[in-house]
Amino acid sequence: MHQRRKAREVTLQVLYALDVHGIDLQESIALFWANFDAPEEARKFSSLLIEGTWNNREQIDSLIAGSSENWTIARMSRVDKSILRMAVYELLFCQDIPPKVTLNEAIDLGKVYGSENSGAFINGILDDLYGKLRRKDEDQDIPHLAGSPEP
């Protein structure tokens, strides 16, 4: 699973760069891999996360906003926002990853790359959102977001 941690770190870096610089998705991924190396497994997983997260960010942001009291997406740090987006994508579309793993990985990334409060902030939002998704799933299957690939 060490490769998946590395892939999530790469994903965080690319999502952050996309948010800051606003360059093309594929160009951003290519630029990253032109300057850094990682095993093929990490490359594939990070590309899946980057593309899926970025292509679904409007819907993902809406879900995050619905679980973040007193915080708009615009007020969140770019690091926290990127971590949250990636984690929400995993929760919705990566059925092979246990939700607990997704939440723990996101919290750990927040502690390492965010501010001193990022881990708790990310934990609070994801815990609330995951609770809502579980309740919705108990009532009915969670539909895939429009235009998204099946996991």
Mean pLDDT of 97-102: 96
Question: Residue 87 and residue 148: Cα distance in Å, rounded?
Answer: 16
**Tokens coding 77:** 């740090």
Cα distance from N-terminal residue to C-terminal residue, the chain: 19
Q: What's the confidence (pLDDT) of residue 148?
A: 43
Query: Does the pLDDT of residue 23 top 90, yes or no?
Result: no
Count CB-CB contacts under 10 A for residue 5: 13
Answer CATH for 2-139 from 1.10.940.10, 3.30.1330.60, 3.30.2130.10, 3.40.430.10: 1.10.940.10
Q: What is the pLDDT of residues 121-140, one digit of tens each?
A: 999 999 999 999 888 776 65
Q: Where are the domains of the chain?
A: 2-139
d(CA 108, CA 105): 5
Q: What percent of the chain has pLDDT over 70?
A: 90
Under DSSP, is residue 131 helix (H, G, I), strand (E, B) or coil? helix
> Does the pLDDT value for residue 144 go beyond 60?
no
Give the pLDDT confidence of 37-76 residue by residue, as tens digits. 888 889 999 999 999 999 999 999 999 999 998 889 999 9
In eight-state DSSP terms, residue 146 is: T
Cβ-contact 102, 110 below 8 angstroms: no
Please report the pLDDT score of residue 106 as a whole number.
98
- Name the residue with tokens 């895939």: 144
